[in-house]
């Protein structure tokens, strides 16, 4: 009996992982058909999507707003996400094939999937014997290896901008600008030092492009974001 239970548990886990894997494959295949780039997986998006799929299964209803009226972006930020935009699609059905077909037949869902600017994706699946619910999240990451670490005197923020148009980093702490302690033009790598007095201020990180445009890439509160490091992998 014990061996049977272990076997069934393994099969359920395998089916769940296989289904999750298929979501990434199907979404990227659909984007490939439209000439769009493949999306990379993001651990924060995946954790957020998985958690919310479980919430939807428990509530027995599909909604983009959770019980406390948070949006996908709100939930992403609560898990340590810092990107400025998040897209979400939700589906329920007996198998992923039917759900994918429903997404493809819906102009609104297809528009989200085929947004050219997306760079990263995360998916979650929750199921019981009668239902399967998929949640897929998308975002635009313009910073690699973003880190916020405490150093005894405050925080050190570091990372590298991905777009090669980034000419100069900017960081707004509340309404005040902060000068970088390090900036490398070739690698577009930056570093900032933030005092503890700025811990609860709203911060906006971004860059000035070659055309002189200000582009905000990430937003965060240092005291909240710091709780996700160093345990959270840099993205």
Question: How much is the pLDDT for 131?
Answer: 86
159, 190 Cβ separation under 8 angstroms: yes
Q: Which residue bears the tokens 């005197």?
A: 153
65, 71 Cβ separation under 8 angstroms: yes
Question: How much is the pLDDT for 195?
Answer: 96
Sign, CA torsion 173/162/89/9: negative
Question: How much is the pLDDT for 15?
Answer: 38
From the list 143, 146, 170, the residue with the least C-alpha distance to 158 is 146
Question: How much is the pLDDT for 226?
Answer: 86
DSSP string, the chain: -HHHHHHHHHHHHHHHHHHHHHHHHHHHHHHHHTTPPPPEE-HHHHHHHHHHHHHHHHHTS--SS-TT---HHHHHHHTT--BS-EEEEEEESSSHHHHHHHHHH-HHHHHHHT-TT--EEEEEEEEETTEEEEEEEEE---EEEEEEEE-SSEEEEEEEE-STTEEEEEEEETTEE---SEEETTTTEEEEEEEGGGTTS-EEEEEEETTS-EEEEEEE-HHHHGGGTTTSPP-
Strand 203-209 to 189-195 pairing: unpaired
Q: Which residue bears the tokens 């970088």?
A: 180
State how far the Cα of 220 lies from the Cα of 208, in Å rounded to an integer: 19
Max Cα distance, the chain (Å): 68
First to last CA, the chain: 44
State how far the Cα of 62 lies from the Cα of 226, in Å rounded to an integer: 32
Question: How much is the pLDDT for 231?
Answer: 44
pTM of the model as a whole: 0.85
What's the average pLDDT block by block, 10 residues per block, for the chain (235 residues)?
Answer: 41 42 91 96 96 93 92 96 97 92 96 97 92 96 94 94 97 97 97 97 97 97 84 46
């Amino acid at each position: 009996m014990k061996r049977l239970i272990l076997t069934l548990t393994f099969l359920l886990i395998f089916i769940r992982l296989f289904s999750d894997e298929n979501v990434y494959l199907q979404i990227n295949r659909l984007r490939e058909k439209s000439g769009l780039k493949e999306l990379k997986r993001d651990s924060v998006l995946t954790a957020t999507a998985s958690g919310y799929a479980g919430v939807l299964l428990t509530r027995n209803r599909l909604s983009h707003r959770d019980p406390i009226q948070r949006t996908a972006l709100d939930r992403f930020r609560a898990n340590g996400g810092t990107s400025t935009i998040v897209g979400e699609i939700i589906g329920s059905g007996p198998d992923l094939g039917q759900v994918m077909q429903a997404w493809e037949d819906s102009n609104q869902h297809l528009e989200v999937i085929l947004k050219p600017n997306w760079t990263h994706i995360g998916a979650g699946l929750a199921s019981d014997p009668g239902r399967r619910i998929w949640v897929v999240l998308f975002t635009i990451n313009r910073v690699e290896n973003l880190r916020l670490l405490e150093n005894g005197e405050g925080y050190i923020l570091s990372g590298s901008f991905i777009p090669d148009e980034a000419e100069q980093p900017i960081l707004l702490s509340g309404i005040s600008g902060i000068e970088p302690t390090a900036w490398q033009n070739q690698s577009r790598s930056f570093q900032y030092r933030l005092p503890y007095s700025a811990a609860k201020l709203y911060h906006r990180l971004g860059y000035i492009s070659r055309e002189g445009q200000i582009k905000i890439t990430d937003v965060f509160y240092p005291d909240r974001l710091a709780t996700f490091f160093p345990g959270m992998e840099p993205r």
